[in-house]
């Protein structure tokens, strides 16, 4: 079975449609499937419910789909860094299912593992638990959370072999494996494709059984979400000269230290 598609547009053809539940990997802008999000925007599908850590930023990531009004509802754990998200939500134009981050990750993982629901203490006594089943275990109250089963998952990985085995790179792994496992159809965007068998089995982070379609994006933008620069400290030329002279003098003093002589014991023949 050929899992390699020539473009992101081709990889999404025939599987995305209006009103779907989608999962999108990434954490902020780290490890997001940039090309697949762009292709999803160009597809024109609308009324989407999107599961993701957040909705990107204005003009990038899932923020592009907010600008085109293709997202009807977000299931997310963080909603900052996006003014258009804030505007739409406060105006009643966007639905939001606000979910604790660990719970969101487990809802996806449970979906991929075939577990329909689980109990957690997170959210008990808050709005998160409203309308949900509560149960006591060992004297503690837990809230039941249902697993998430998106119809399509869009995922970013560093490398794939032609069978779909994946490797993720450092923190870009984040929500991607869980999103991939949960999706009924998983489309993955990678920076490198190798032959089946070239990837060390012990280095495979996600087996290819979860992956249905692969598209190569060898040069993603990888935009930095918040670029913070520190101004260079002013240089005091006179102080720098004195410091340099002190370092030189110290080095010279070390070089001039005489090597201690070893006592000679003539009787021992040493």
Nearest residue to 19 via CA among 152, 210, 169, 173: 152
Are the CB atoms for 22 and 151 separated by under 8 Å?
yes
pLDDT of residue 115: 97
pLDDT of residue 243: 82
How would residue 267 be classed by pLDDT, with cut points 50, 70 and 90? low
**In this prediction, what percent of the chain has a pLDDT beyond 70?**
93
- Across residues 8-22, what is the average pLDDT? 97
The domain limits of the chain are 17-119+130-216
User: Has residue 266 got a pLDDT over 60?
Assistant: no
- Summarize pLDDT for 48-69 with one digit per residue, the tens: 999 999 999 999 999 999 999 9
pLDDT of residue 265: 54
Q: What is the pTM of this model?
A: 0.82
Range with the lowest mean pLDDT among 75-79, 147-151, 220-224?
220-224
pLDDT of residue 172: 93
How would residue 259 be classed by pLDDT, with cut points 50, 70 and 90? very low
How would residue 263 be classed by pLDDT, with cut points 50, 70 and 90? low
How would residue 80 be classed by pLDDT, with cut points 50, 70 and 90? confident
- Across residues 237-251, what is the average pLDDT? 79
- Summarize pLDDT for 30-41 with one digit per residue, the tens: 999 999 999 999
Q: At residue 163, what are phi and psi to the nearest 5 degrees?
A: -90, -10
Tokens of 165: 């085995």
CATH superfamily of 17-119+130-216: Glutaconate Coenzyme A-transferase (3.40.1080.10)
Number of H helices, E strands in the chain: 7, 14
Bridge partners of residue 95, in order along the sequence:
73
Cα dihedral angle (193, 196, 197, 201), rounded to 10 degrees? 70
Q: At residue 15, what are phi and psi to the nearest 5 degrees?
A: -120, -15
- Across residues 230-256, what is the average pLDDT? 75
């Amino acid at each position: 079975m050929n899992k390699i598609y020539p473009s992101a547009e081709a990889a999404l053809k025939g599987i995305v449609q209006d009103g779907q539940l989608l999962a999108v990997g990434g954490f902020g802008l780290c490890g997001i499937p940039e090309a697949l999000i762009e292709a999803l925007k160009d597809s024109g599908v609308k009324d989407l419910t999107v599961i993701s850590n957040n909705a990107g930023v204005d003009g990038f990531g899932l923020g592009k789909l907010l600008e085109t009004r293709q997202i009807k509802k977000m299931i997310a754990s963080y909603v900052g860094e996006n003014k258009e998200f804030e505007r739409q939500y406060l105006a009643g134009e966007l639905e939001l299912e606000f979910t604790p981050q660990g719970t969101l990750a487990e809802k996806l993982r449970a979906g991929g593992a075939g577990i329909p629901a689980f109990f957690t203490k997170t959210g008990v006594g808050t709005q998160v638990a409203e309308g949900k089943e509560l149960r006591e275990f060992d004297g503690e109250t837990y809230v039941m959370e249902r697993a998430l089963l998106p119809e399509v998952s869009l995922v970013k990985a560093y490398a794939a072999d032609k069978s779909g085995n994946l490797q993720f790179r450092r923190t870009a792994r984040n929500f991607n494996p869980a999103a991939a496992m949960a999706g009924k159809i998983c489309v993955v965007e990678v920076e490198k494709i190798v032959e089946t068998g070239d990837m060390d089995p012990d280095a495979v982070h996600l087996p290819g059984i979860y992956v249905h379609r692969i598209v190569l994006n060898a040069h993603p933008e990888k935009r930095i979400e918040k670029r913070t620069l520190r101004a260079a400290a002013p240089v005091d030329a006179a102080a720098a000269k004195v410091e340099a002279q002190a370092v030189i003098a110290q080095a010279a003093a070390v070089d001039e230290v005489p090597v201690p002589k070893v006592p000679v014991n003539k009787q021992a023949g040493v």
